[in-house]
Chain A
């Protein structure tokens, strides 16, 4: 069993109003050193291992998990430790 951690972030030139609002809020709380905040999504997928696991995850991201028009993604695959 593998644990796949997928990070989905808005593309560089895409407006991230949520990140902007968080930045404004942090600065109101006195964290004036914050220069930029970007928000995204983190998805954890537990799946069977296979030879083409990276390709399969790429397909999942392209078809559903990320929207290539506005988002980029990257992922890490590790051995799943189930408690």
Chain B
């Protein structure tokens, strides 16, 4: 399975993402500069965290209007997986690939620590290696992770089982304790916590490992079924 990690000016978790997919999971992975990349031959796109374009205008807004987004939308439209973490999630929201928006954290401060999350949907292609309702621990690191959507959108997310991760102790004021959501088709996941920073026990938690493992296993199964 071949991964593309998209690098924007100001991305700073790109190498963590690359390390997770490439070194730890042992997959083929490339760092792809947003201006030059051709994404046709990749099986999955990873949008890393950071501060693309210095968070100018709104977090993720400028990146969401860059040329590479057309390729990412085509990739997503073809049903192939896209994972956006932190700033990557903000970019997916700004691009309209996921519903809602990010507000500044309720108490305004940048927060950087481990949070307990519940796996609210363990049946997505990103979460099948987790147990139903399992509590996992992943690091968060953001100043604008306060998920906002109107009531109609929130009930639609609930109705369609699109809420994938929820905070056990909501740190930032997110509506419905939302830490991560998936699109209706089930191939675009956005989340504020960082699974790519939690793939080795040595670094405090390896609870993020199974997210990548789920994605790879499900891709392999689908690939084998199509042979």
Chain A: residues with CB nearer than 8 A to chain B? 14-15, 17-18, 21, 41, 63-65, 67, 69-70
Contact = CB atoms under 8 A, between A and B. Distances in A.
Given A17-B105, A17-B106, A67-B61, 9 more contacts: A15-B103, A15-B173, A41-B57, A64-B61, A67-B101, A69-B93, A69-B148, A69-B150, A70-B101
Contacts of B2: none
Contacts, number: 37
The B interface, classified by DSSP as helix, strand, loop or mixed, is loop
B146 interface: yes
B73 to A, nearest CB: 14
A75 B114 CA distance: 43
B186 interface: no
B108 A67 contact: no
Interface residues of B, number: 20
A18 B149 contact: no
Interface string B49-89: 00000000110010001000000000000000000000000
Residue with the greatest number of chain A CB neighbours at <10 A, chosen from B65, B105, B107, B148: B148
Contact of A69 (B101, B107, B146): B101
A78 to B, nearest CB: 23
Contacts of B99: 69
Given A14-B148, A15-B173, A64-B65, A70 B57 contact: no
A18 B61 contact: no
B100 interface: yes
